[in-house]
Amino acid sequence: MKKAFFLLATAALTAMAACEHDIDIHTDHEQPQLSLHGYLSADSAVNHLVVGMTGVDQATIVHQAHVEVYVNGEFREKCKIEREAQRYLITTPFHPGDRVRIEVATTDGKHQAFVEETVPQPVGGIKGVKAQLVEEHKFLSEYGYTDETADAFELRLSFADNRGSTDFYRLAAPLVGATREHRYVDPDGEYMEDIDSVAVPVTFDCTQDPILMEGNTIKPSSDLDMPTVGNVINRYGVFTDKLFRDNEASLCVYLPLTFRQSLAGMYDYGTIFTLLEGTATVAVESITESEYYYLKALNTSESETYEDNHDLSGPIRLPSNVHGGTGFVGFRASKSIECTLAK
């Protein structure tokens, strides 16, 4: 089982501001291939691309690749690498509707790859958003069992679909102010607590929302019930306009009032985040069809159902939009709105 492909993808995925986990990925590439990873936004002044080379046992970053950007058939720039971050800097602005082609080659010319996509159109705007505190919300597992009962912010928002086309969207993790409390034991054996305030992307619970769960909402189950089988939690918040085409979409998700970050080691008790009253930023991203299916595959690979049955169901094959190589490069355009959180 080879993980070279995934090691490069990690650098790009962390920019999504979601809770990522290790993913077992099988590849059939015994020979090295160029691997491209990035999420490029029409809303950003600069974007980044990770360029690597796959291998049987390990992956490596390519520091001297030729990376060229073309927009609507015209050459725009030759990208330079940021050596500390080990990624290539793209300063060309992208606009909705642009046809973007990124060509990558090794200096010896032995390996060449490219990606070509059209930047999607953003939604016209988010029409409304409202948040309220809900006590003892039940956070469900994919089998319908209650993982946790805790206070949460219920977040409801609506937006209009782009008319006359099939569209693909992603609800980004809302950016919220929070108190961060890190508990650990220092090298001298002293118990320590570091407390500060940060803006943090919050992973939401969407198990009861029919649009985000694409009609497969999870029903609560008790220990005496047969568990729900086959549902996959939409951790990456991707969805299509299939259920509301050319109309208005209404979404409802829940943000945990308090959550813990994974432990870092034997002497690290983890980091606890507690959401603060104030402003939260909510964004709906328009994404490409290829990114929709890529993130859906990641949802499946991280699901409890796959973890429990992957020996029977077989490996997850992640889609790639890279020609002549492997990996994934996404293109996005988004609209955001602010709402007030009050306890």
Domain boundaries, the chain: 4-20+27-118, 126-316+334-341
Name the residue with tokens 């829940």: 254
For residue 72, give both structure tokens: 């609507």
Q: What are phi and psi of 317, to 5 degrees?
A: -100, 110
Coil vs helix vs strand at 307: helix
Across the range 6-20, mean pLDDT stands at 44
- pLDDT over 90 (residue 191): no
Residue 16: pLDDT band with limits 50, 70, 90: very low
Higher pLDDT residue, 201 or 261?
Answer: 201
For residue 207, give both structure tokens: 């198990």
CA–CA distances in Å: residue 240 to residues 118, 233, 289: 17, 15, 9
Lowest mean pLDDT, pick from 242-246, 266-270, 313-317: 313-317
> 89: which residues sit within 8 A by CB, 6+ positions away?
46, 48, 79, 80, 81, 82
Q: What is the model's pTM?
A: 0.85
Coil vs helix vs strand at 295: helix
CA–CA distances in Å: residue 315 to residues 15, 40, 158, 307: 25, 28, 36, 10
Closest CA to 200 of 265, 319, 280: 280
Closest CA to 87 of 52, 62, 55, 50: 50
What pLDDT is recorded for position 11? 45
Superfamily of domain 4-20+27-118: Immunoglobulins (2.60.40.10)
Cβ–Cβ < 8 Å for 341, 61: no
Amino acid type, 180:
R
